[in-house]
Amino acid sequence: MILSGFAVAFAAHFPLSSPWILAKLGALVVFVILGLLTFKQTTKSKQMLFFSAALLTFVYIGSVAVTKSPLGVLGGL
């Protein structure tokens, strides 16, 4: 899914005209990695740390999708 997203973005030349798509896809990769790291941890404190980071990344992805800005909701400030 991630590879197809990058393929569509580069095939349609979206990165040049819409940088928010690349920001969203990059954050999706970070989200997946944080999710994997969450499940690999043995201590609860590390699990909560990675889970919280993944949750913040998810919120960022949503805000980028809604605002169509690489900065997300911070772009309007």
Which among 69, 58, 50, 45 is positioned nearest to 77, based on CA atoms?
69
Cβ-count burial 38-75 (b if 16+ within 10 Å, e if not): beeeeeeeeeeebbebbeebeebbebbeeeeebebeee
SS3 77: coil
**pLDDT of 7:** 76
Choose the weakest-confidence range: 16-20, 21-25, 52-56, 59-63. Answer: 16-20
Choose the weakest-confidence range: 26-30, 31-35, 40-44, 70-74. Answer: 70-74
**pLDDT of 8:** 72
**pLDDT of 76:** 67
Count of residues in the chain: 77
